[in-house]
């Protein structure tokens, strides 16, 4: 067995933004969604560290190098009357998978959720991503089969934003 440097988890700092963007692009490549990835350092920096933080990032590092990340934000459950944590992105570089970084990141978010009084931690996964689904289910996560995700983006979002409330 080789001696590996220990895994370290830490909150991202403003100077980590280029690394986070690079990890986001690596995730997009893994998911075959590069054409949909428009990650911008300045925008991300403002959204993570500006006057109103919209999201948080935890980095997983080995030997001072980022091997993965989790980007998350709070949502709210009216049925539970509690906040929750929504995991937008979880990614571990392929050469570092199977060494505990993904589980450590999710365990960290679970601990944050408990410490912050959250009622749940949730995320979405692409249906074709069998390795991720298997990993999540081994941790005790369950698919929400009765829920369908909907999204408004681009022109449809713009159209609705200007249509007012007299259409429906």
DSSP string, 29-89: HHTT-GGG----HHHHHHHHHSSS---EEEEEEETTEEEEEEEEEEEEETTTTEEEEEEEE
pLDDT at 168 over 90: no
Is 136 known to be catalytic?
Answer: yes
pLDDT of residue 165: 59
Q: How far apart are CA 106 and CA 111, in angstroms?
A: 9
pLDDT at 62 over 90: yes
Position 1 confidence tier, pLDDT thresholds 50, 70, 90: low
Question: Strand 82-92 vs strand 121-123: parallel, antiparallel, or unpaired?
Answer: parallel
Residues in the chain: 168
pLDDT single digits (tens) 98-126: 999 999 999 999 999 999 999 999 999 99
pLDDT of residue 3: 79
pLDDT single digits (tens) 40-54: 999 999 999 999 999
pLDDT of residue 163: 85
Domain 7-163, what fold? Aminopeptidase (3.40.630)
Question: Strand 65-77 vs strand 82-92: parallel, antiparallel, or unpaired?
Answer: antiparallel
| CA separation, residue 78 to residues 82, 87, 126 (Å) | 7, 19, 26
Position 2 confidence tier, pLDDT thresholds 50, 70, 90: low
Among 30, 86, 136, 150, the one annotated catalytic = 136
Q: How far apart are CA 36 and CA 121, in angstroms?
A: 25
Q: How far is C-alpha 73 from the chain's CA centre?
A: 8
Average pLDDT over residues 53-77: 97
pLDDT of residue 44: 98
Question: How many Cα neighbours within 13 Å face the side chain of 51?
Answer: 0
């Amino acid at each position: 067995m080789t001696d590996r440097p220990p895994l370290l988890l830490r909150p991202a700092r403003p100077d980590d933004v280029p690394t986070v963007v690079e990890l986001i692009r690596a995730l997009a490549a893994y998911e075959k969604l590069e054409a949909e990835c428009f990650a911008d350092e300045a925008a991300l920096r403002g959204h993570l560290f500006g006057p109103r933080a919209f999201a948080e990032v935890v980095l997983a590092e080995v030997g001072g190098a980022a091997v993965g990340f989790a980007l998350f934000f709070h949502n709210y459950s009216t049925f539970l009357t509690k906040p929750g944590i929504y995991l937008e992105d979880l990614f571990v570089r392929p050469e570092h998978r199977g060494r505990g970084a993904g589980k450590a990141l999710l365990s960290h978010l679970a601990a944050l959720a408990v410490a912050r009084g959250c009622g749940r931690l949730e995320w979405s996964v692409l249906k074709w991503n069998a390795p991720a689904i298997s990993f999540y289910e081994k941790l005790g996560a369950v698919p929400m089969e009765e829920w369908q995700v909907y999204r408004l983006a681009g022109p449809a979002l713009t159209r609705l934003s200007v249509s007012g409330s007299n259409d429906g």
